[in-house]
Homo-oligomer: A and B are copies of this chain.
Amino acid sequence: MIQVAINGYGTIGKRVADAVRAQPDMEVLGVAKTRPNFEAETAIDKGFPLYAAIEEREHLFEEAGLDIAGSVDELVADADVVVDATPSGIGAENKSLYEEYETPALYQGGEDADLVGVSFNARSNFEDAAEADHVRVVSCNTTGLSRVIAPLREEYGVEKVRATLVRRGGDPGQTSRGPINDILPNPVTIPSHHGPDVETIFDDLDIDTLGMKVPATLMHMHSLNVTLEEEVDAADVRELFADESRLFLIPEHMAIDGSGKLKEYALDAGRPRGDVWENAIWEESISTVGRDLYLFQGIHQESDVVPENIDAIRAVLGAADAEESIETTDETLGIGL
């Protein structure tokens, strides 16, 4: 069994922990957290050994009545692999710790691409991670873009991608973030970082991205344009996408008009936390005008990278090939709405 340490038990970390537990070939060795908040409480309730990410704060956990299994150093030393799910920039600070104990590590998309040699998306470049000890699982938006671009490149060739990313202002729990009643070009300058980030997956891709922020918390929404190398029927693209397990085509009859109903559907379906691990593509939106393909897709910022982290664990340890890993991950999590 692969012993997985999870450093950072917030939005991503707690979901990765549950996903690891669901795998037949892995177990959660422990999770590390900086503060004894509600998530720390839940970790204990679930039986995940809890480690203090910062030694000086151990007493805060004790005062809150939460048992600490040890220091993060011990956790890293004993693990086969660490998933670093700390806030952006903290992963970079943690890298020397992982190197000290020679524990392979996965970082999240908020870290700079040049922190590590390999940026990872399971569908697009699984094999690249086999040669690296430090791998970055790209961000939710980059994951969402890569999953769509990969099959299009293989099937038709892609001349250029142009995407407008209408981003949620914050996650549901991020009460300090905005905007309220506003639409912000964000960043105002073009391109946003997303285009160059997708190029860490496809290094020869021509892509321009524009970002905005709006007063919503549930999901991001992409307005995507892909100029293909040949003219294609929209129906063919729908068929191509239907074969991709991590692309969910929302059928018209479901009458899902936005991210609110989509999340409600995921909750109704009994998914943990109402997670939508797949790109949610509105089937009716898939359109072609000459070589220009257009579509809308919802990207659940809290969860679409979770299966990618699971696959990255296997990739970096050489524990499975892409097909085998993706199939196991999808089956155990229940991916494929």
* Residues in A lying within 8 Å of B, measured CB to CB: 162, 164, 166, 168, 179, 181-186, 188-191, 208, 210, 212, 214-221, 223, 225, 257-260, 282, 284-285, 287, 289, 292, 294-296, 298
Question: What residues of chain B lie closer than 8 Å to A214, measured between beta carbons?
Answer: 166, 183, 214-216
CB-contact partner of A185 in B208, B218, B260, B296, under 8 A = B296
Question: What residues of chain B lie closer than 8 Å to A221, measured between beta carbons?
Answer: 183, 185, 212
CB distance B223 to A257 under 8 Å?
Answer: no
A186, A216, A219 pick with most chain B CB within 10 angstroms: A216
Known contacts A182-B258, A258-B184: A296-B216 contact under CB 8 Å? no
Question: What residues of chain B lie closer than 8 Å to A184, measured between beta carbons?
Answer: 257-258
Q: Identify the closest chain B residue to A208 (Cβ).
A: B289
For the complex, what is the distance from the CA of A210 to the CA of B223, rounded to whole Å? 7
For the complex, what is the distance from the CA of A216 to the CA of B285, rounded to whole Å? 23
CB distance A260 to B181 under 8 Å?
Answer: yes
Question: What residues of chain B lie closer than 8 Å to A257, measured between beta carbons?
Answer: 184-186, 188
For the complex, what is the distance from the CA of A298 to the CA of B184, rounded to whole Å? 9
Known contacts A188-B257, A188-B296: A181-B289 contact under CB 8 Å? no
Question: What residues of chain B lie closer than 8 Å to A282, measured between beta carbons?
Answer: 185, 188
CB distance A216 to B284 under 8 Å?
Answer: no
Min distance, Cβ A183 to any Cβ of chain B, angstroms: 4
CB distance B260 to A189 under 8 Å?
Answer: no
CB distance B183 to A219 under 8 Å?
Answer: yes
Q: Identify the closest chain B residue to A167 (Cβ).
A: B183
For the complex, what is the distance from the CA of A284 to the CA of B210, rounded to whole Å? 13
CB-contact partner of A287 in B166, B179, B189, B294, under 8 A = B189
Q: Identify the closest chain B residue to A189 (Cβ).
A: B284
Min distance, Cβ A297 to any Cβ of chain B, angstroms: 9
CB distance A181 to B294 under 8 Å?
Answer: no
Question: What residues of chain B lie closer than 8 Å to A212, measured between beta carbons?
Answer: 166, 221, 223, 296
Q: A181-B216, A183-B216, A214-B216 are in contact. List 7 more A-B contacts (CB 8 A).
A: A182-B218, A183-B218, A183-B259, A185-B296, A190-B294, A208-B292, A225-B225
Chain A to chain B contacts (Cβ below 8 Å), 13 pairs = A164-B223, A168-B183, A181-B217, A181-B218, A183-B218, A183-B221, A184-B258, A185-B258, A185-B296, A189-B287, A190-B295, A191-B289, A223-B223
A183, A210, A257, A298 pick with most chain B CB within 10 angstroms: A183
Min distance, Cβ A270 to any Cβ of chain B, angstroms: 22
Q: Identify the closest chain B residue to A286 (Cβ).
A: B190
CB-contact partner of A285 in B189, B225, B296, under 8 A = B189
CB distance A179 to B260 under 8 Å?
Answer: yes
For the complex, what is the distance from the CA of A48 to the CA of B307, rounded to whole Å? 65
Min distance, Cβ A173 to any Cβ of chain B, angstroms: 14
Known contacts A189-B285, A190-B287, A216-B215: A183-B210 contact under CB 8 Å? no
CB distance A190 to B258 under 8 Å?
Answer: no
Chain A to chain B: the 6 pairs with minimum beta-carbon distance, closest first: A184-B258, A185-B296, A164-B223, A164-B164, A190-B287, A183-B221
